[in-house]
Amino acid sequence: MSAPLGTLGIASHFINDILPWLNCCKHTIYPEMYCPLYYERRPSDSGADYVPPRPANGAGDPLITTFDNFPYTFNGVGEFWAVKTTPSNPLLYPYTFQMQARIEKLAIEDEPSSHASIFTAFAFSQLKQGNRIALVQIQRNQSSGCLALKLDEEHIPFNNDNTEEINLPFSGGSLSYSSQSEPISLSFVSGFSFQIFPGPSNSLTFTASARQDLLNSTQVSVS
């Protein structure tokens, strides 16, 4: 069964699931005979056993929650790994996925000695069998608050007058965005998806989800 919201979207679901059902069951000469045979080969899935992905997130000072729902605070300044896969079987899972976060000190006029820090940039790298198939960079300017978005080193312009979401597929997944004030959504074929939000004080925040089978081989922490 193909997921309607998978990499190829509704078209894949229609081709792989709907068309076979129409041709082998509903529109046959004897549907009462062929439909039971169809469902015997392709039983219907109610989704009762579906386990939704557990989200991870990072925001604020920064406050981080891992995929196993462990919350902690990290006030370091610099560039750190936020998500990193350590696949045990490259034949079954040929991808290497990494998310890097930049954390900068929060400038507070009345508190120059403050230790508060914020996320200001994220970079996402995805490799398949050692070859990079996706590189996405999102950065927020600390002076203007403007977002900068790059896909495979190419700058993607924002239109602040745009009210419609723009979907941009790429070789390793897809991204969607609209204006500077709206979140950027990312989906990768390796099984990870993210939403990046403009936060207060020119910061960035994120939410992340991963396929259930990746959770035991994925590190989600700032290190």
The 10s digit of each residue's pLDDT in 128-157 is: 888 888 999 999 988 888 899 999 999 998
Q: Give the burial class of 161: count Cβ atoms within 10 A of its Cβ; 0-12 exposed, 13-18 middle, 19 or more buried.
A: exposed
The reply to whether 144 and 97 lie within a common domain is yes
Average pLDDT, the chain: 84
Residue 123 maps to which CATH number? Answer: 3.40.1000.10
Write out pLDDT tens, residues 93-124.
888 899 999 999 887 767 666 778 999 999 99
Residue type, 173: G
The reply to whether 66 and 116 lie within a common domain is yes
The reply to whether 33 and 113 lie within a common domain is no
The reply to whether 144 and 82 lie within a common domain is yes
Predicted TM-score (pTM) of the model is 0.75
The reply to whether 44 and 83 lie within a common domain is no
C-alpha distances (whole Å) from 138 to each of 18, 160, 198 are 38, 17, 11
The reply to whether 114 and 154 lie within a common domain is yes
The reply to whether 28 and 102 lie within a common domain is no
Do 81 and 99 meet the contact criterion of CB atoms below 8 Å apart? yes
What percent of the chain has pLDDT above 70? 86
Kindly give the parts of the chain with pLDDT less than 70. 1-12, 52-53, 87, 109, 111-113, 162, 216-223
Of 50, 69, 87, which one is at a domain's C-terminal end?
50
Tell me the DSSP string of 101-147: EEEEEPP-TT-TT---EEEEEEEEEEEETTEEEEEEEEEE-TTT--E
The reply to whether 8 and 103 lie within a common domain is no
The reply to whether 81 and 133 lie within a common domain is yes
The reply to whether 40 and 91 lie within a common domain is no
The reply to whether 82 and 121 lie within a common domain is yes
Domain count within the chain: 2
The reply to whether 44 and 67 lie within a common domain is no
Which domain covers residue 69, as residue numbers?
56-220
